[in-house]
Each structure stands twice: as structure tokens, then as C-alpha cells.
Amino acid sequence: MTLAKTANQSMVTVSGHEVEMHKGGSGSPLLFLHGGGGFGTYDPTTGPLAERFTVYAPSLPGFFGTSRPEWLYTINDVAHFTLDLVRELGLDDYVLVGHSIGGWIAAEMAAMDSHNIKGIVLVDPAGIRPEKGEITEIFMVSSDARLKLGFHDASQVPNFEAFTAEMTPEQSAVDHANMEMMSRLCWKPYLHNPSLPYYLGGVQTKTLVVWGKQDAIIPVECGEIYAKVMPNATLKSIDNCGHRPQMEKPQEFNDAVTAFLDGLK
């Protein structure tokens, strides 16, 4: 599920390729990178983030309204592409936020070039393999099974019915294409980069790692590793919550992120 078509949607050209962009709010810049399922019921361009930042929320290459450049095959490629997007938009001293694979992309970007990143928020990011547990298989299961894995307790998710509504043929085609792109980017090695923990040691930017404590896809152990290997990172785990805290526990999520962003001033 992606954001609704609004007046704030436009197309931006990056390295000769059209990127679907959602933009809202006012203030200093914030770049929000969605997970494999899109923005879901969390719209960063109209929520609390947009009350204090100009939020840029692109559809990642190969997802929704953004096509995949022929040369793009890995998360590392997406990170380079997104850094080109940052330069195209002229973002400086910006906050970088990413959820799930968007968090992985954000971490790779920061490892490549963090000189103009003011702060980083990683929300249940993929990218690091747990030492004790395992990352759950999500590609070879049904969409219903993936939906159940995404939340700890669906009854506490505001607007959960949006996830269970019957899709149109067009929406089904987009959903299938998104999963195809996810598997292309994340299959081998599965949802992680073995080198990433070593890259992240050089990222000095203040970072908040937010994790649903009962994440059934990527265990909270991975959040502990992120917080350990990044010199200025802090882990905030949200109890009774799964892989999508911004959707399942929006108040606790917003409180944690707001407190972190206030500390960047």
C-alpha cells in the first residue's frame, strides 16, 4: 500500500530516471525511506514529522511509481541512487529516516557519506544478521502470512482494515511487482549485508534505532547490534509491538522520535 495520489505528489529526475516523490510539511529537510510494503497507514508527509520538517518521501527504485534502472540490482546500488537523489534535491543538514529495507538503505547511505546528515532514525531496519536468532522467511509465504508477521497484535493497529481490504487488479499487480523487487534486492544474502556492521563503525552521526520488541521478522537482537556498532546510536525498543511500530504503536513511536529530534537542536 502506497500513499494516496495527492497534490503533493510529483516526479523528480535522478540520473536520467523518474522518481515518484511525496512531499509535505515545512522546515528543514527530512528524507523518509519506506519499507518493502510501502508507507502503509503511516504517511510521513502529513503526520508529526511534517509539523517540523519538510518531508521528502520517494518511492524507491522498482517500487510503486518509480521504475528500476537497468544497472540497479542490490541495496548498495539503491543507496548510491538515493544519494544521487539527495544531491538532486539539494538537501543539506538533513535528517535521514528509514523503515525496514528503507532503514537498511539509510544505514548504507550513512556509511558511504554522512557529512551532511544531521541525524538518523532507523526503524526495525534490515541489513544486519542476528548472531543467535534468524531473520524470518517472508518471500515464500502468502500475503496474509506476511501481514500477520508484520504486526504483534493487529487489534491495536489504527486503521488495520486498510490492510485487509480487497485489492484492485492494479493494486495486486503493484504488490506483486514490489515483492519481485524485494526478492531481487534482498534474496542473497537474505535481508542483510555481512559487511555492514564494519562499515557503520565510522558513522559518527547521532542515531536513534527504534524497534518493535516482538518483531517477528527481524529480531530485536539486530537492533542491539546496530546500537552497538554505531558509535552514537541509541536503541529504543517498544514493547507489545511488531515490525511496524510507526503503524502499530504510533503514539509511542512518535514520542520516541520527537524526543530524539528535539535533542539534535
Domain ranges of the chain: 9-262
Residue 191 DSSP code = T
CA angle 157, 262, 205 (to 5 degrees): 95
* pTM of the entire predicted model: 0.96
- Domain 9-262 falls in which CATH fold? Rossmann fold (3.40.50)
The whole-number mean pLDDT for each consecutive block of 10 residues of the chain, a chain of 265 residues, reads: 58 93 96 94 93 96 93 97 97 98 98 97 98 94 93 96 90 90 95 97 98 98 98 98 98 97 90
Could you tell me the CA-to-CA distances from 46 to 57, 108, 246, 247, 259 in Å, in that order? 11, 27, 13, 14, 19
- pLDDT tens digits for 6-60? 557 889 999 899 999 999 999 999 999 999 999 999 999 998 999 999 999 999 9
